[in-house]
């Protein structure tokens, strides 16, 4: 299984998170998404590759970005806290650990959109 498959399993695998948002998407939201609803968008990139003794390419570290998008600050904060708690220490197949790095809240006051990009790192065994 790939990192992408493993992280998708984690992202869509929590029933409470699925109930709290209107959709969880990889990389981008659908066109003309409803600004009155809560959304989660995630993306990832490989950060490094490590070798071990005589074995090459044993594990990778990945950067994971999870963006919460909603129409009020209370929802943004509660979803951000929930996702941080949910992902911190989570694992699935090759993903051995996920840990929180930082967050970057933003606002678009004209559209009344409040977002927060949560940054995580993860350890993935090949």
Q: Count other Cβ atoms within 10 Å, centred on residue 4.
A: 11
Identify the pLDDT of residue 48: 82
Identify the pLDDT of residue 49: 76
Structure-block tokens of residue 62:
């990945």
Could you give the CA distance from residue 39 to residue 18 in angstroms, rounded to a whole number?
10
Identify the pLDDT of residue 54: 67
Domain hosting 57: range is: 3-125
Mean pLDDT value across residues 111-115: 93
Mean pLDDT value across residues 50-77: 86
Could you give the CA distance from residue 17 to residue 1 in angstroms, rounded to a whole number?
24
Q: Kindly report the CATH number assigned to the domain that includes residue 38.
A: 3.30.2000.10
Q: How many domains does the chain have?
A: 1
The model's pLDDT over 78-106, given as tens digits with 9 standing for 90+, comes to 999 999 999 999 988 889 999 999 999 99
Q: Count other Cβ atoms within 10 Å, centred on residue 62.
A: 20
Predicted TM-score (pTM) of this structure: 0.90
- Residue 20 clears pLDDT 80, i.e. is over it: yes
């Amino acid at each position: 299984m790939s990192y992408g498959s493993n992280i998708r399993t984690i992202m869509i695998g929590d029933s409470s998170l699925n109930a709290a948002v209107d959709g969880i998407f990889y990389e981008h939201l659908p066109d003309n998404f409803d600004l009155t609803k809560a959304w989660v968008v995630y993306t990832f990139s490989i950060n490094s590759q490590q070798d071990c003794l005589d074995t090459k390419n044993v594990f990778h570290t990945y950067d994971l970005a999870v963006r919460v998008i909603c129409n009020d600050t209370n929802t943004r904060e509660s979803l951000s806290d929930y996702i941080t708690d949910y992902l911190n220490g989570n694992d699935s197949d090759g993903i051995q650990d996920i840990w929180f790095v930082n967050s970057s809240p933003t606002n678009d006051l004209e559209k009344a959109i409040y977002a927060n990009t949560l940054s995580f790192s993860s350890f993935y065994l090949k």
